[in-house]
Amino acid sequence: MATPVAQEQRTLGFTEPGRPPLRTPRTSLKLRNALIGWTFILPNFLGFAVLTLTPVITLFYISLTSWNIFGAAKWVGLANFERLIGDKSFHTALGNTFYYALVHIPVTIVVSLGLALLLNQKLRGAAFFRTVAFFPYITSIVAVAVVWNMLFSPEYGPINQFLSLFVEGDLPGWTVSKDWAMPAVIIVGTWKDMGYYMLLFLAGLQTVPGELHEAARIDGANTWQRFWNVTLPCLRPTMFFVTVMVTIQSFKVFDLILVMTDGGPGQATLVLSQYIYQKGFEQFEFGYASSVAVVLFLICILVTVVQFLYNKRKEA
């Protein structure tokens, strides 16, 4: 970082008095390099700008209007946000989103890290089991939802038939019960995502230096102590990345819930992204839907910023 500034000063210093500073070959080379670099990023950036950045910026504007998609949007200021405060369905959706996220995030991290540690061992057939664990991630979400729904079927499903071997009395109603629908969705969400994050953790585990483990072992640290004091600190960059990804993904969960429970029974699994869809594309209240989207956006960005700050403090 220091070199370009120093060069700049040197260039200025060598300029003869009375003549405007000239561009030296070095700066024009730098400029050229930057231009070439930008050119390479351009196709990607154009796609991002047109398909993501513009809609996101427009979203903020639309959230301050009343718009049924046809004709001009009517400016209403903060009215949509005021309405959010008293909207019980929005509160339910917000609560459910946090319910899903707060359970799904830690469970997914623990399960995928556990799987990664297990499959990082020199185990016969480890490659096969890694593939098995990754498989749910690449399976179509609709197929996953249909099959799990059948497994969860309260009357004929294998899960409850299995549970009835051990449990007397009432069994969970899973996706058709107000209390059990969310746990059912979280179980499937975790099962589907764990393979992907396991893969990230596996990659992270390869970077943990063997010498550190060896040194710790010589010092008499047991397996748990070595995990806690060697593996986990070395995994921090991976852990950070995984946490950010899982968090954002959990807050914007949509497709899984839409196909598994459609937000039901009642509003038991209604989440923010589905509420946005309902308000926007089913009821044509795009202004109001956008204001919910803004709230979701702010939640995601707030959580991410907190995670970044925490990570930075740990890094320092």
Partner 1 sequence: MNRKIMSGVGLAAVASLALTGCGGQDEPAAADGPVTLTLAGWDFASTPEFETLADAYHEANPDVTVELKEYPAGDDYDTALTADLAAGAAPDVFIVKNLKNYVTFTEGGTLLDISDVAAELDPETGGLAPMAIDGATYAVPYRQDSWLLYYNKALFEKAGVDLPDGSWTWDDYAEAAAELTEGIGEKQVTGTYLHSWQSTVQGFALAQSGAPLDGGDFSFLAPYYERVLAMQDEGSQPTYATVTTNELTYQAQFGTQKAAMLPMGSWYIGTLVAEQESGAADTFEWGIAPIPQADESTTGTDATPVTFGDPTTMGINSGIDESKVETAKDFLTFAAGPEGAAALAGIGITPALIDDTVADTIFGLEGVPQDDLSRFAYTTHETLPENPVGPTTAAIQTILGETHSAIMSESTPVDEALAEAEERVANEVG
Query: Please, what is the minimum distance in Å from the beta carbon of residue 65 to partner 1?
Result: 14
- Give the position of tokens 């509160």: 91
* Residue 159 near partner 1 by CB under 8 A: no
Q: Of the two residues 88 and 313, which places its CB atom closer to partner 1 in the complex?
A: 88
Task: Tell me if 172 contacts partner 1 by CB under 8 A.
Answer: no
- Alpha helix locations (H) across the chain? 2-14, 25-48, 54-62, 79-86, 88-119, 126-138, 141-152, 158-163, 181-205, 210-218, 223-226, 232-234, 236-251, 255-260, 272-277, 286-315
- Taking CB under 8 A as the criterion, the residue among 1, 16, 18, 155 binding partner 1 is 155
Q: Which stretch binds partner 1 (CB under 8 A): 123-131, 172-180, 197-205, 289-297?
A: 172-180
Q: Which residues of 9-38 are buried (b: 16+ CB within 10 A; e: fewer)?
A: eeeeeeeeeeeeeeeeeeeeeeeeeeeeee
Shortest Cβ distance from residue 169 to partner 1 (Å)? 17
Give the shortest CB-264-to-partner 1 separation in angstroms: 4
Choice between 7 and 66, CB closer to partner 1: 66
161 binds partner 1 (CB under 8 A): no
Using the rule CB under 8 A, which residue among 63, 65, 120, 177 binds partner 1? 177
Over the window 61 to 100, marking each residue x when it contacts partner 1 by CB under 8 A and - when it does not, the resulting string is -------xxxx--------------xxxx-----------
What span, in angstroms and rounded, lies between the C-alpha atoms of 109 and 204?
13
| Residue 264 touching partner 1 (CB under 8 A) | yes
Compute the C-alpha angle 146/150/156, nearest 5°. 165
The three-state secondary structure class of 66 is strand
Nearer of residues 87 and 255 to partner 1, judged by Cβ: 87
Does 48 bind partner 1 (CB under 8 A)? Our answer is no
Q: Is 283 in the site for partner 1 (CB under 8 A)?
A: yes
Are the C-beta atoms of residues 229 and 219 closer than 8 Å to each other? no
Q: Where are the alpha helices (DSSP H) in 49-164?
A: 54-62, 79-86, 88-119, 126-138, 141-152, 158-163
| Torsion region of 77: left, alpha or beta (phi above 0 gives left; psi -120 to 50 gives alpha) | left
**Could you tell me which stretch among 56-64, 96-104, 113-121, 279-287 binds partner 1 (CB under 8 A)?**
279-287
Question: Can residue 267 be called a binding residue for partner 1 (CB under 8 A)?
Answer: yes
Terminal alpha carbon distance of the chain: 19
- 80 C-beta neighbours (distance < 10 Å), count: 22
User: What is the spatial distance between Cα 57 and Cα 62, in angstroms, rounded to a whole number?
Assistant: 9
Task: Give the residue with the Cβ less far from partner 1, 95 or 265.
Answer: 265
**Binding to partner 1 by residue 287, rule CB under 8 A?**
no
**Which residue number, 111 or 264, has a Cβ lying nearer to partner 1?**
264
C-beta of 203: minimal distance to partner 1 in Å?
A: 32
Residue 144 carries which side chain, given as an amino acid letter?
Answer: V
Contacting residue, 149, 190, 238, 274, with partner 1 by CB under 8 A: 149
Size of the site for partner 1 (CB under 8 A): 40
**Which residues of this chain interact with partner 1, rule CB under 8 A?**
36, 39, 42-43, 68-71, 86-89, 146, 149-150, 152-157, 173-178, 262-268, 270, 278, 281-284
